[in-house]
Amino acid sequence: MAKIYLDPNTGDEINASEWWAVRIQNSIIRKWWFLGQFTIITLAVVLTFNVNVVGWWNVYASYLAIFVEAIVGRYMSSQTRRDALIIRELRELIHDVRNLAKTDVKHSEMDYRVDVDSNDLLKEILTILKENK
């Protein structure tokens, strides 16, 4: 039996890859200390004025950017697809409600017409009854 993973932010059912992506984001990538440490290390590397060190740091930083983008992109893409499905369902429901509202208006108009006709008929009957007294 496959393990069920839930998105800690939305409660949606997600696959293992998305679960790991959101865990890494929430515990590392989206933390201020991560950005702070990365900034401090970058400044320290740049201030060495050593072309080799800066070059290797650029390689590392480039890879880190691709890694972070892959993790964030995996989660965001999946979340966007789930949201799109919900939006489509809501759009369909709104369409159905609008159609029901149009139908309800027609029924209301028909009911009103029946009420008017019934009242006219009752008036006519009362008039006949009064005349035959």
Q: Is 93 left (phi over 0), alpha (psi -120 to 50) or beta?
A: alpha
- Tokens at 59, concatenated: 């390689």
The pLDDT tens digits of the residues spanning 85-107 come to 999 999 999 998 888 888 887 88
68: Cβ contacts below 8 Å, ≥ 6 apart: 29
Q: What is the pTM of this model?
A: 0.65
d(CA 68, CA 77): 14
DSSP labels, the chain? -PPPEE-TTT--EE-HHHHHHHHHIIIIITSHHHHHHHHHHHHHHHTTT-HHHHHHHHHHHHHHHHHHHHHHHHHHHHHHHHHHHHHHHHHHHHHHHHHHHHHHHHHHHHHHHHHHHHHHHHHHHHHHHHHT-
Residues 41, 54 contacting (CB under 8 angstroms): no
pLDDT averaged over every residue in the chain: 92
Give the pLDDT confidence score for residue 109 in this predicted structure.
Answer: 83
Q: Select the more confidently predicted residue: 63 or 127.
A: 63
